[in-house]
Homo-oligomer: A and B are copies of this chain.
Amino acid sequence: MTLTDETSAPLAHERLTTLGAALRVALDGPYAAERAVARATFPAGGALRPVELGIEESRAWTLARLQELQDAGFGSAGVPSRAGAHADPLEAALTFETLAMCDLSVTIKSGVQFGLFGGAIANLGTAWHHDTFLPGVTSMELLGCFAMTELGHGSDVASLETTLTYVPETDEIEVHSPTPAATKAYIGNAARDGGMAAVFGQLVVDGRRHGVHTVLVPLRDEDGADLPGVTTGDHGHKGGLLGIDNGTLRFDHVRVPRRMLLDRYGGIGDDGAYRSEIEDPNRRFFTMLGTLVRGRVCVGGGGAMAARRALSIATRHALRRRQFPAPGRPDGVLLLDYVVHQRRLLPLLARSYALGAAQNRLIGALVHVQGDDESTERDQRELETFAAGMKAMQTWFANRAVQEAREACGGAGYLSENELTALRGDVDIFATFEGDNTVLMQLVAKGLLTDYRHAWSALDRTGVVQATTRAVGELVMERTSAGLVLDRLAATARRRPEETTLVDRGWHALMFEERERHALESLARRMRAAAKAGGDSFEAFNRLGPHVQFVARAHMERVTLAAFVALLDTTEDAEARDVLERTCSLFALSSIADDRAWFLEHSRMTTARSKAIGDQIDALCRELRPHALALVEGLGIPRDWIEARILDE
């Protein structure tokens, strides 16, 4: 491993080891060129909000910084600036992750303004909305809110109470919050900056409810005062993201012209009658929400970047800091030479790579559905499930990784100058916003069960009357994006799994498949039993809650492994590939180790093999230890974007 000055042009400003550069190219995957350009051109200097700033100063700093980035071309990426303009989902996702390598308030402010507010107008609105509002959105002259969540209805969008009632007499829509629980809450841009909101509520036309729709409502006059009938509130201090002015919105019979309704999927004709191309209100609801999937793709990827930044800091620190003299090490042992410390950080690095590979695939699926390709409703639904799961997995991981990084840096990790605590505070809420993670994992399981039901009835129809649950399970699994690659690998190990080594990829694939398939099949069985059982049906399903979470996680783990395996196959550099093979094994074994009780309980592994996993993980850590710096470089957070003083001393 040698330092090289000769790297490709966009990386020229950063000195990377040869291996680090190769790992970075591998992990950047299909978007390596775009990401290299972003790193080389993004104005990252002074990118972190000074942590001592108070609330109002933080908000002002964040707005100014976003405006600056916008002026430099890094803000509204991916949002079309007018009707018919190309909305580039790839640019949106990559810009968001670049922003997330720096200040997360700026990142989320961008997400609120361009992704959510701009996205609602672009996706739910029609030409007049686009022409009228998108120029102001993209230039930031019109700052806006995405007013979906209500105090009483966090994750339950279908139950929103806000009403959007059509008033034929004046051809207006009356926006109203009928109860305190209907107050829009946690809304970014609501407390200070928002001049307008995309308000989600129940559309009522001629006394009939048509489900959740969205209307644009002006909030403030030019002096920033609430408009008549609008009451904005300020959530004040929060656990992080102080640069975002989260607040509340209440509407007291506020009227706006009919055309302010974002009516791409359902609207009101000149005759005052409701019309929609989608008959089924349920399908309409999910179609509307489905267009917003990009937000989840971005937030998950953003969380992953926070984790990478934290792991970069902690690992680089562990390569400099010595503690406790030992035989042969009079100046103390380098932190990363402690096995316990390796076990803290290296499996997290491995998981960062695995999730990065999966996120690349997710971005690919997003581009397929929202880009210029032809795509099916099935593609859309799979994208939603995949995005929900990746958002949950990556943001949970981010919380864990940042906290572990903080603790791995000891007392220094607690000083704000070393970035980790602010990162921790900011990323905390990623597990809740854009869909609470636990609820998102329910969506993942629901998607799998739907596939399962379809597969079952399809097999049934084609006369395979003896379709076993196993056959059905396999059918479902093959159809998912992770399908064939892992399946082929698993086949090599299936006959004599105990004769494979612990780093045999076929055995990993087999274990990941078996975990998901068995858990899914048994959940499907229990679901059927619950549906048939009399009594309290809520309770019958309620008891399956932990099982639902397990299935969703098992699925996401398999999808992630499949993505990592595919990434290995496309890695050309031999040394990078060798290191990534071990990294993949570390990821896979860590996942198996976490669930080894399950594998033992379900006779998928002998106790002897289970006991050996810990030592194998240690061995992999030892093998990867010399490549720790390169692995960190590969994560792609440029060294000079990190300001943590702990690395300067």
Contact = CB atoms under 8 A, between A and B. Distances in A.
Interface of A: 51-52, 54-55, 149, 152-156, 159, 180, 185-186, 235-240, 322-329, 332-333, 337-340, 343, 399, 403, 406-407, 410-411, 413-417, 420-422, 424-425, 428-429, 431-433, 436, 438, 536-538, 542-543, 545-546, 549, 596-597, 600-603, 607, 610-611, 614, 618, 649
A327 to B, nearest CB: 5
A428 B421 contact: yes
Nearest to A437: B407
A104 to B, nearest CB: 13
Nearest to A55: B52
Contacts of A406: 239, 428
A235 B421 contact: no
Q: Kindly name the residue among A236, A322, A329, A407 whose own CB sees the greatest number of chain B CB atoms within 10 A.
A: A407
Contacts of A337: 542
Q: Kindly name the residue among A237, A239, A428 whose own CB sees the greatest number of chain B CB atoms within 10 A.
A: A239
A89 B603 CA distance: 53
A395 B29 CA distance: 41
Contact of A536 (B328, B410, B415, B596): B328
Contacts of A240: 414, 421
B425 A421 contact: yes
A130 B302 CA distance: 56
A595 to B, nearest CB: 8
Contacts of A415: 235-239
Contacts of A438: 340
Given A52-B237, A236-B415, A240-B414, 13 more contacts: A154-B411, A185-B411, A186-B411, A239-B406, A239-B420, A328-B536, A406-B428, A410-B432, A425-B425, A596-B597, A600-B600, A602-B607, A603-B607
B601 A421 contact: no
Nearest to A396: B407
A388 to B, nearest CB: 16
Q: Kindly name the residue among A55, A236, A327, A414 whose own CB sees the greatest number of chain B CB atoms within 10 A.
A: A414
Contacts of A338: 542, 545
Given A339-B545, A536-B328, A429 B414 contact: yes
Contacts of A411: 149, 154, 185-186, 429, 432-433
A414 B601 contact: no
A336 to B, nearest CB: 12
A602 B596 CA distance: 13
A159 B332 contact: yes
14 contacts: A154-B323, A155-B410, A156-B332, A159-B325, A186-B414, A237-B417, A238-B421, A239-B420, A240-B414, A339-B542, A339-B546, A411-B433, A414-B429, A543-B618
B237 A416 contact: yes
A424 B649 CA distance: 28
Contact of A417 (B236, B324, B416): B236
Closest 8 CB pairs of A and B: A239-B421, A237-B416, A340-B545, A597-B597, A326-B538, A600-B600, A186-B411, A339-B545
A614 B526 CA distance: 15
A610 B600 contact: yes
Contacts of A155: 323-324, 410
A546 B593 CA distance: 14
Given A415-B235, A415-B238, A323 B410 contact: no
Contacts of A154: 323, 410-411
A538 B340 contact: no
Contacts of A542: 337-339
Given A343-B546, A406-B239, A601-B607, A537 B327 contact: yes
Contacts of A420: 239
Contacts of A238: 414-416, 421
Contacts of A436: 410
Contacts of A327: 536-538
Contacts of A329: 538
Nearest to A400: B403
Nearest to A340: B545
Contacts of A597: 596-597, 600, 610
Contacts of A413: 432
Contacts of A326: 538
A549 B323 contact: no
Nearest to A235: B415
A435 to B, nearest CB: 11
A323 B239 contact: no
Nearest to A149: B411
Nearest to A442: B340
A54 B50 CA distance: 13
A281 to B, nearest CB: 16
Given A159-B324, A323-B156, A607-B600, A54 B55 contact: no
Contact of A432 (B340, B407, B536): B407
A339 to B, nearest CB: 4
Contacts of A424: 239, 428
A49 to B, nearest CB: 12
Contacts of A416: 236-239
A633 B403 CA distance: 30
Nearest to A323: B156
Contact of A600 (B54, B236, B601, B649): B601
A156 B603 contact: no
A54 B416 CA distance: 14
Contacts of A407: 431-432
Contacts of A185: 411
Nearest to A540: B327
Contacts of A417: 235-237
A405 to B, nearest CB: 12
